[in-house]
Every structure is written in structure tokens, then in C-alpha cells.
Structure 1
Amino acid sequence: MPDPTRPRASLRTAVVWEVLQDALDRRVKATGRDALDVLDTGGGSGNFAVPLARLGHRVTVVDPSPNALFALERRVAEAGVADRVKGVQGDVLGLFDVVERGGHDVVLCHGVLEHVDDPAEGVRNTVAALRSEGVLSLLAAGLGGAVVARALAGHFKEAKQALESSDGRWGSGDPMPRRFTADQLVGLVEDAGLAVAAVHGVRVFADLVPGVLVDTEPGALDALLKLEAAAAELPAFQALATQLHVLGETPGATGV
């Protein structure tokens, strides 16, 4: 669930949370357990881990940053869920140095593939961390959103470079190491042995709309959230999204 004290943050997480909570509910029903074992790779300070723990799930956060893990420790203590969240230092390519294979009902891989040398290996590792019936939530930077954003800012050469480059970067000053199309992410998930249950565009409009409109117009935030939700499953709008979310399921979990 998005943090109600940070309404603007809901623009970045609402679509993902809706899909993820539905997947969690289905796994709870299928397993007969109220608490699932969740692995959050690259989970940082706990933007997803803390709300998941509040729902009663056990969450292991793997992140390479000691500072992020320190912030996570402080945040889970403040939220009163320290008994359900564990943070360990590591990364997705060395995942099994710090966690067990096949020990998790759900794995989150959010904002990770953009930063690893081998995205395919990263996805394979997340899948290997799942139990025989499990769910992968994959969130990564989308190519189309970056191209549109550079073009609307008047940086047409950079937009073209991002469109044509193999990594989706618009130049040496681009802070994002890699971006993906929906087809590329779907391919990574399927090649790792999962069935794709859903694909959603995230922040299709949110990053293009002037913040002043959302902050000052009555009802604008709620209307924009509804618009984002309506567009998220449409391929034409997924191609324009800042981020792309893919939900993958092991063959045993499909159709649950």
C-alpha cells in the first residue's frame, strides 16, 4: 500500500502496489499461510519492505549499500516491524552468497536490472530464489518514457540517441545506466522460466505533468492516479512509461 503521508509518492507506486497486493493475496490463499516469505533485492531503505511487513509478511532486503541498510534498520524500528524485516548486504548477481535458493514465495526486483552488468543473470538469480510456486515482481526503467521526456524538453538529439542506443541512454551525462522495452523485460522473464502474468506501464503521465497542477488543482492527484491505472495495461501507453512492471509466475503458480 502506498504511504498515505506521501501522496505524491503514490504516483510512483500505486500501479505496482495494486498488482503486487493481488499477487500476494493469491499466494496467501494458495499456500494457506497468512505470512509469506518475501525477498526484496535492491530494496534499499524499505519503501516496499516496510508496508509488506505491516501486512504481516516476512521480508529479507538485499542491498549493496550500507547506508541504505542502516536507514532500513531505523525505518523498520520506527514502524514496529523489526521482527519481520531483515537486511543483508549483497547484490542480485551474488545473491546466493547471502540468501538461500528456493526459499521465497515472492521476489521483488525493483530498480535493479538497470545497474547490473548482466541483467539476464540477475533475473535468473531472482527466479532461482523462488519456491516451486512463486511470483516475481520486476520493475525497471522504460526506454519510451526517457525518449519522450528528452524530446519534450527540446533535447531532440539526445532523444534520438536514447531511441537508437543499445542501452537506452541519451548521452554520457545520463544518470541511468540502462533502460528496457516491455518486450525486452518479458523476454528476460520468460527466458528464466517464468510465465508472464501481467505487464504494466508505470508513470505514463506522472513525470510529464507539471507538479504545480497536481499540487494545486482540487482532485487532480486522484484523477491522475485513475488515469495512470487506466493506461497501465495498454501497450500503446506502456511504450511511453517511465518504468515498466512485469509480474512473472512459476509454472506451478500460474492461474492460482
Structure 2
Amino acid sequence: MSDPMRPRASLRTAVVWDVLKDALDRRVKATGRESLDVLDTGGGSGNFAVPVAGLGHRVTVVDPSPNALFALERRAAEAGVADRVRGVQGDVSGLFDVVERDGYDAVLCHGVLEYVDDPAEGVRNAVGALRSSGVLSLLAAGLGGAVLARALAGHFKEARQALGDPAGRWGDGDPVPRRFSAEQLTQLVGSAGVEVGAVHGVRIFADLVPGVLVDTEPSALQELLKLEAAAAELPAFHSVATQLHVLGEKQGTPEV
């Protein structure tokens, strides 16, 4: 299967996709099975689910939106992976109403914690769906990136408000209900019984670089992607990333 990430969209997804693909490959080797069972909570129309299925894995997507699940079905069919993708209406808060516990080799929880009433419960449920030594991929909005973006746009009062707000919101018009620091996310994951393997900053530069610089220079996009990848694991840049990605493994006895 060709690279699932379209060139412009890859600025938002490339770092996470590369890390996730490597983690799934390692899980395949650890289990001795070529095909894994993967759960994508809040997976929407399949931005990650369809490419993961393209690797040969079975993917269950749980999402509250019927329209997103319809788009997922169409997208999976167009990619030729409809037999490996299943959409289920639900959310992470009521996850075990629609999927089984301890049933998955990997769980994706991308863009979910920002919107749930209880992030700790959301993480616990995501981890509860994992088999022993399963992989958790968690992606959430970063506080520092929002503060920096508001400041660079000249909205200094909003930047200061986000910096001091418990939820990281810059005002009533903020479309994101909650943002996190890297420390908050790793604490949530660790408390749920997951050993953190790596933390990555996502969209460190991509949201700050004017689009014209990328669109008019043929090599600029690839160079920006390389820069994002080079800075992703450096803790110094986590505090200014638009999103934060945490990769971890559920603690427990490995499968035989």
C-alpha cells in the first residue's frame, strides 16, 4: 500500500504515523502473529484506521458520529480494506458497551481526551481494552502550542488566559474544551497502568509556518517533515507543540 498520508495532510500526521507503524511492527514480532486486533477510539472517518488496515491488521473504530462511520465505510471500501475495518457507534466513556475488555493488541486514542468529561476515565477505558503488553497510542492537544499560536497572532490576553486556565482554554470562543502538558498526559497514562515508551511533539513548526512557504517550494514540504521528525522526541520542543503523542505499553505478563 502506498503512503496513506497526503502531502499537505502529512504535516499533521507523519510523526504519529511513523511511530505507530513501528510500534505495530514490533507488536507483530512479539506476538508472532502477522495480523493484529486494533481499536481506534474516536477514529472518525478512518484517517488512521484505514492505513492501519492497509498494513493487514483488523481495525475496530468506535465513534459517536453516524456520519463519520458512514464516511469510514466508504473510505475503507475505496482503499480495498472493507473486510478488515468495522465501525461501531459509541464513545470511550461507554467503551465496554460496544467492545470487549482485554481484546486488542493496540488501542488508538487520538483527539479524544480533549472532549470527554473525565480524561482519566477515558484513558483507563482505553487501557482496559488492551491485552497484556498491548500498545497504547495517545494523541491530544498541547497547551504550549495554543499559547504560542495566540501570542504570535497578537492575541496576548488570550495567550495569557490559556496559560493560566486549568483546562488550557484561551476564552469562550475556544473550540477545544481541554489541552494538556506532556507531564499531565504521562501521568494519566502511568496511573492507568501503562509504561510510557516515548513522548512526541506533533506539529511543532507546521502550524506556525506560512502555507505559502511550503506550497511554493517543491522541496520545502519534505524538509519541514524532516524538521518535525527531528524535533519530535526532544523534550525542549514538547512545550510548544500543537499536539502531544504518548506511546506506551500496558504493564503485565507478556502473551505466550
Q: Which amino acid aligns with 2:204?
A: V
Structure 1 residue 252: Cα displacement: 4.2
Query: Which runs of no fewer than 5 residues in structure 2 stay unpaired?
Result: none
| Counterpart in the other structure of 1:74 | 74
Q: Distance in 2 between matches of 1:247 and 1:218?
A: 32
Residue 131 in structure 1 maps to residue 131 in structure 2: yes
2:236 match: secondary structure:
helix
Q: Deviations over 1:6-39 (max 9, x none)?
A: 2011111111011111110110001110100000
Q: Distance in 2 between matches of 1:133 and 1:183?
A: 22
Q: Distance in 2 between matches of 1:11 and 1:108?
A: 19
Q: Distance in 2 between matches of 1:64 and 1:72?
A: 13
Residue 145 in structure 1 maps to residue 142 in structure 2: no
| Counterpart in the other structure of 1:34 | 34
| Counterpart in the other structure of 2:210 | 210
Cα-Cα RMSD: 1.2
- Taking only the aligned residue pairs, the percentage that are identical comes to 81
| Counterpart in the other structure of 1:3 | 4
Q: Distance in 2 between matches of 1:2 and 1:120?
A: 34
Residue 60 in structure 1 maps to residue 54 in structure 2: no
Q: Distance in 1 between matches of 2:185 and 2:78?
A: 35
Q: Deviations over 1:48-72 (max 9, x none)?
A: 0100111100000000000100111
Q: Distance in 2 between matches of 1:2 and 1:8?
A: 13
Please tell me whether the aligned partners of residues 2 and 10 of structure 1 are also in contact (alpha carbons under 8 angstroms). no
Q: Distance in 2 between matches of 1:160 and 1:26?
A: 42
Query: Which runs of no fewer than 5 residues in structure 1 stay unpaired?
Result: none
Q: Deviations over 1:87-140 (max 9, x none)?
A: 000000000000000000000000000000000000000000000120100000
Structure 1 residue 2: Cα displacement: 5.0
Q: Which amino acid aligns with 1:133?
A: S
Structure 1 residue 218: Cα displacement: 2.7
- Quick one: structure 1 residues 157 and 226, their matched pair in 2 at CA, closer, same or farther if it must change by over 3 Å? same
2:114 match: secondary structure:
helix
Q: Distance in 2 between matches of 1:105 and 1:47?
A: 19
Residue 191 in structure 1 maps to residue 188 in structure 2: no
Q: Distance in 2 between matches of 1:232 and 1:97?
A: 36
Structure 1 residue 3: Cα displacement: 2.6
Q: Distance in 1 between matches of 2:227 and 2:79?
A: 31
Q: Deviations over 1:173-208 (max 9, x none)?
A: 000000000000000000001100000000000000
Structure 1 residue 78: Cα displacement: 1.1
Q: Output the TM-score relative to the length of structure 2.
A: 0.97
Q: Distance in 2 between matches of 1:253 and 1:16?
A: 27
Please tell me whether the aligned partners of residues 76 and 82 of structure 1 are also in contact (alpha carbons under 8 angstroms). yes
2:82 match: secondary structure:
coil
1:109 match: secondary structure:
strand
- Quick one: structure 1 residues 111 and 237, their matched pair in 2 at CA, closer, same or farther if it must change by over 3 Å? same
Q: Deviations over 1:140-195 (max 9, x none)?
A: 00000000000000000000000000000000000000000000000000000110
State the aligned residue count.
253
| Counterpart in the other structure of 1:165 | 165
2:245 match: secondary structure:
strand
